[in-house]
Chains A and B, each alone.
Chain A
């Protein structure tokens, strides 16, 4: 009986704008859809992975109550947008060791409905007197967007990366968004459009920044044995690892390199493959620079050569490494912590359910989450077949 971990169900809640749902209901709806997709029921779930954001600090325990779960394995690790990627390594160990049979991962947020579009430019600033590490950032007007802009400027100064390179990332992701009827933005984009959009924080334009949306996602991991007689072809979890370098941007050791170097090396080692074997990537694209750094740090090109790699069109539909085939967070859906959605989209591709966005002969997919401010990078490698 194989206890190797497989993903057997995926589900997304209503997005990108869902004023009828709060964060908890996004989790409930995505969970229902993932269960229906798999053929499992809530009674089968004995493990639960869910990270609460500071804006919904008790969401994980509220979700357990709402769903009526009594998990014997529980992981609520919070690392921002890479939380799912950081929870998967322990989940697959728990599956292998028999500490859990079937684990539900779920995330949901009503970010757009609750906060509007101001997340990236300071709309979540602390009320009252500042204290702690933010004393050394917020009085200078630091926002989420400025932190990523600081990394982009450094990369450009060190390696000659150009605004056109970053814009190409947004253009390629938008092409996939055009094939996703739910995507927040689907009109075709050009590099010129990106460069002509308002500058938010040099060198990042409006269209270098992700959307702010509502949305949730869920997926289910169980044993290969259990996965055999369910509704979908099981997708194998071949490698999973996380690594971190800092939390606040002022403590980032090197603004042009992330901990994705370490997380990807460990994930590749577990999977017994290298970047040359990957058919599609689902990268956290909170900003275009996020995806560029993940691309380099996962070894798809050398450090500093990401701009040229992108310019060659590899990440586009029909390219050698199609990226963010659901329209990503740049164009489709970003409700705060998108790591769970990177997994659901990778699974959709590996099942061959991608429709017009399907990556041909898709056997291996890599999903990489980025949490905090380029702080916590998690890498998951999924495969259509056991290797």
Chain B
């Protein structure tokens, strides 16, 4: 996925632990990753140190970065910056075929036209030298 480098990060400090850090580091390298357990086949997101299904240490797999809108809202009022200035913005749940559901913002679309089922692809917003935050934007088809 594309990593956007030229927008200043203003969404507050992140202090991820070691497992979470791997996810945000992969995003900074242009990869959207989720966990898959080799022992039981379970996929999981958000990442955890152990498989929620069988308790083994899961592996990472790279997702295609494409998904569909499961549900969404257009945030019109927010009590905290920068989100109060960003409003209206789209907050959505995105399902990916690899078997995970993400929360994320969908940008590059008129908020009044977004629909459940909309096809989207991931991109990443750089946080600092090593971390980036995945976001989503519309595409024509998966």
Q: Which residues of A contact B (CB under 8 A)?
A: 118, 121-123, 125, 128-133, 135-143, 145-146, 149-154, 157, 198-204, 249-250, 255
Known contacts A123-B80, A151-B71; A135/B86 CB under 8 A: no
B102 touches A121 (CB 8 A): no
Does A131 lie within 8 Å of B76, measured CB to CB?
no
Using CB atoms and an 8 Å cutoff, list the residues of chain B in contact with chain A: 11-17, 20, 24, 45-46, 70-80, 83, 86, 89, 91-93, 101-105, 115-117, 133, 135
A89 to B20, CA, bound (A): 38
Q: Residue of B at shortest CB range from A256? A: B71
Our pick among B13, B75, B117 for the contact of A201 (Cβ within 8 Å) is B75
| Closest Cβ–Cβ distance, residue A229 to chain B (whole Å) | 51
CB distance from B138 to the nearest CB of A (A): 16
A150 cross-chain contacts in B, Cβ below 8 A: 71-73, 91-93
What chain A residues lie within 8 Å of B77 (beta carbons)? 121, 145, 198-201
Residues of A within 8 A of B24 (CB): 135
List chain B residues, Cβ under 8 A from A201.
73-77, 91
Contact A131 B17 (CB under 8 A): yes
Closest Cβ–Cβ distance, residue B118 to chain A (whole Å): 11
Q: How many Å lie between the Cα of A135 and that of B24 in the bound state?
A: 10
Given the contacts A149-B73, A255-B70, A250 and B116 also touching, CB distance less than 8 Å: no
Is there an interface contact between B46 and A131, defined as CB atoms closer than 8 Å? no
Interface pair A122/B83, CB less than 8 Å apart: yes
Q: Which residues of B contact A123 (CB under 8 A)?
A: 79-80
Closest partner residue, chain B, to A249 (CB atom): B103
- A142 to B71, Cβ gap below 8 A? no
Whether the Cβ atoms of B12 and A250 lie closer than 8 Å is no
Closest to A138 in B: B12
- A129 to B17 Cα, complex, angstroms: 11
Contacts of A255 in B (CB 8 A): 70-71, 93
Contact between A141 and B105 (Cβ–Cβ < 8 Å)? Answer: yes
Chain A to chain B contacts (Cβ below 8 Å), 12 pairs: A123-B80, A130-B12, A136-B102, A141-B75, A143-B78, A150-B71, A154-B71, A154-B116, A199-B74, A200-B77, A204-B73, A249-B103
CB-CB under 8 A from A145, the residues of chain B are 77
CA distance A132 to B21 in the complex (A): 10
Among B24, B74, B91, B92: residue with most chain A CB under 10 A: B91
What is the distance, in angstroms, from A143's C-beta to the closest C-beta of chain B? Answer: 7
Residues of chain B lying within 8 A (CB to CB) of residue A121: 77-80
Residues A125 and B80 in contact, CB atoms below 8 Å apart: yes
Q: Which 4 pairs from chain A and chain B are nearest by CB?
A: A129-B15, A149-B73, A141-B83, A154-B71
Bound Cα distance A150, B69 (Å):
11
A123, A129, A135 — most chain B CB neighbours (10 Å): A135
With A122-B80, A198-B77 known to touch, is A140 a contact of B15 (CB < 8 Å)?
A: no
* Selected contact of B79 from candidates A118, A128, A131, A138, CB within 8 Å: A118
Do A130 and B15 have beta carbons less than 8 Å apart?
yes
CB neighbours (8 Å) of A250 from chain B are 46, 93, 101-103
Alpha-carbon separation in the docked complex, A121 to B91 (Å): 13
CA distance A146 to B105 in the complex (A): 12
Q: How far is the CA of A248 from the CA of B115 in the complex (A)?
A: 23
Q: Are A153 and B116 in contact (CB under 8 A)?
A: yes
Q: Given the known A-B contacts A122-B83, A133-B46, A150-B73, are A140 and B13 also in contact in the complex, defined by CB atoms under 8 Å?
A: no
Assess A143 versus B79: contact at CB under 8 Å? Given A128-B15, A136-B102: yes
Residue in B closest to A155 when the chains form the complex, CB atoms: B71
- Given the complex, which residues of B lie within 8 Å of A118, measured CB to CB? 79
Tell me whether A135 and B20 are in contact in the complex, defined as CB-CB below 8 angstroms, given that A122-B80, A122-B83 are known contacts: yes
- For the complex, give the distance between the alpha carbons of A154 and B95 in Å: 13
Closest to A204 in B: B73
